[in-house]
Structure 1
Amino acid sequence: MNKHNSSHIYGIRSILEAIIAEQPINKIFLQKGLKGELFMELESAIRKNGISVSYVPIEKLNRLTRNNHQGAVAQISPVKFHVFETLIESVLASEKNPLFLLLDQVSDVRNFGAIIRTAECCGVHGIIIPKNGAAPVTDDTVKTSAGAAFTVPMAKVDHLKDALFYLQSSGIQVVAATEKAEDDIYAVDFNQPSAVIMGSEDKGISPSILNMVDYRAKLPLMGNIGSLNVSVACGVFLYEAVRQRINQI
């Protein structure tokens, strides 16, 4: 039987069925030390499909659901993610000047929701996040996004490096928002197919990603605090792209 509520599926067999049915799973929590053939089958399916997993004490699972979880609980996304390559090709076929947003390990669900809301307002054609380490789309994310999570196409990728390479090979410039830049955002030409990448709340964009981007840009800060909240910074970057594009209409 497929046991679930609005945000979780519980039970080993039920979760296996959900994976086979390609349900949008944010993360799976497995009980530490659990053994058995069916449990190993679930672990294999999780690895094969690149689903984020955490091994936790049984007390954690008991807090997630009061039902008979059998040592496994899956957190279900309220939105369905697009296939990355299909999303990019579809947008390129229909849009002359697309704008994408990549998030490198943004982990707070409310920051994520606020970013999605701003992206929708700015006409972003797709948001790309890594399968592991990124904030999940939860009920809080949807609420903070004011429903924009249901309208902005999103895709998950195994590695952001591969996504960057794919975007660049498709003629899309990648602009990194980082304080480790000489130029500020107003020097970037957004009147061409572009992708903005924002980093995590605590570490920013990973060095390996920074080495791949086409441009690095920073925001001018006039006060004493060295950085903005990632959702606020994202809004400034995206609205600079909007400002430039409006002036070209």
Structure 2
Amino acid sequence: MKQETTVFGIRAIIEAINSNESIDKVFLQKGLKGELFSELETLIRKNGINSSYVPVEKLNRLTNKNHQGAVANISPIAFYNIEDLVISALESEKTPLFLLLDQLSDVRNFGAIIRTAECTGVTGIIIQKKGGAPVNGDTIKTSAGAVFKVPLCKVDHIKDAVFHMQASGIKVIAATEKTDNTLYDVSFKEPCAIIMGSEGRGINPSTLKVVDEKAKLPLLGEIESLNVSVACGAFLYEAIRQRFEG
């Protein structure tokens, strides 16, 4: 089990990227200039690393060391390659069940979903490199350690994962209210991947256009939506129920 690590200093972060460390996010000081800083920015863009520009006060809260305007969090886990994971899943005797998270931003929801995914035997979780919740100490705690038991993959865009799943014969089902079908109208018995959207925006509209099926949860009260981790649990356990029956 690798602990979450904070790396500070421009050159140190450049070395971490070049050494293929699993960098979760880089915080860069707003308005900073310089040749070395520009080199770091180029590396971040080239490798699709999640980053944000923040005031120096934010960096000072992350570390009391001489950060030179850059602080990076290295993930406590190693991410899987999606191609290898899908091939392995299709070769196994178990029917694959993947989970795609479209820029889920709340760490507690993320951790709770990973915990439920582990309990329901999810094959792997695919997240986007940018815009989603980090894999950090809070994720580990909320997932009750499940983050070390469920394979996680990162892709440039969730749509990339959708196309890869479909090309591999895996049906992609979007959890969205923009449909008349409920999750009880959809079959989860064959190899499939379920997409859950972000807390505020849901699933990206361009991604919704390319999925195989859409399904929603029936809501009988006055509130129009469920917490995403609760909704995800309902979808996963419906998949398990159908597969047990089969």
TM range (shorter): over 0.9
% same residue:
66
Structure 1 counterpart of 2:8: 10
- Residue 63 of structure 1 is aligned with which of 61, 64, 67? 61
Q: What are the residue-to-residue correspondences of 1:49-88 with 2, within 5 Å?
A: 49-88=47-86
Deviations 1:120-157 (A, max 9, x none): 00000000011111111110111000000001000010
The answer for unaligned runs of 5 or more in structure 1 is: none
Q: Tell me the secondary structure at the aligned position of residue 102 of structure 1.
A: strand
Q: Tell me the secondary structure at the aligned position of residue 20 of structure 2.
A: coil
2:4·2:137 contact (CA, 8 Å) conserved in 1?
no
Structure 2 counterpart of 1:91: 89
- Residue 48 of structure 1 is aligned with which of 46, 49, 63? 46
Q: TM-score, normalised by structure 1?
A: 0.95
**Take 1:109 and 1:49, find their aligned partners in 2: how far apart are those partners?**
23
**Take 1:207 and 1:213, find their aligned partners in 2: how far apart are those partners?**
10
**Take 2:204 and 2:159, find their aligned partners in 1: how far apart are those partners?**
10
Shift of the 174–6 alpha-carbon distance from structure 1 to 2, 3 Å rule, reads closer
Q: TM-score, normalised by structure 2?
A: 0.96
Structure 1 counterpart of 2:244: 246
The answer for unaligned runs of 5 or more in structure 2 is: none
Q: What are the residue-to-residue correspondences of 1:139-158 with 2, within 5 Å?
A: 139-158=137-156
CA RMSD of aligned residues (A): 1.2
**Take 1:219 and 1:43, find their aligned partners in 2: how far apart are those partners?**
42
2:4·2:75 contact (CA, 8 Å) conserved in 1?
no
**Take 1:44 and 1:212, find their aligned partners in 2: how far apart are those partners?**
32
Q: Tell me the secondary structure at the aligned position of residue 229 of structure 2.
A: helix
Count of residue pairs the alignment pairs up: 244
Structure 1 counterpart of 2:227: 229
Q: Residue 114 in 1 paired to residue 112 in 2? A: yes
Q: Which moved more, 1:54-63 or 1:112-121?
A: 54-63
**Take 1:20 and 1:240, find their aligned partners in 2: how far apart are those partners?**
43
Structure 1 counterpart of 2:19: 21
Q: CA deviation at 1:37?
A: 2.0
**Take 2:51 and 2:188, find their aligned partners in 1: how far apart are those partners?**
38
**Take 2:63 and 2:192, find their aligned partners in 1: how far apart are those partners?**
43
Q: CA deviation at 1:236?
A: 0.2
Q: Residue 189 in 1 paired to residue 166 in 2? A: no
Structure 2 counterpart of 1:220: 218
Q: CA deviation at 1:210?
A: 0.8
**Take 1:72 and 1:156, find their aligned partners in 2: how far apart are those partners?**
23
**Take 1:93 and 1:17, find their aligned partners in 2: how far apart are those partners?**
37
Structure 1 stretches of 4+ with a deviation exceeding 2 A read none
Shift of the 147–60 alpha-carbon distance from structure 1 to 2, 3 Å rule, reads same
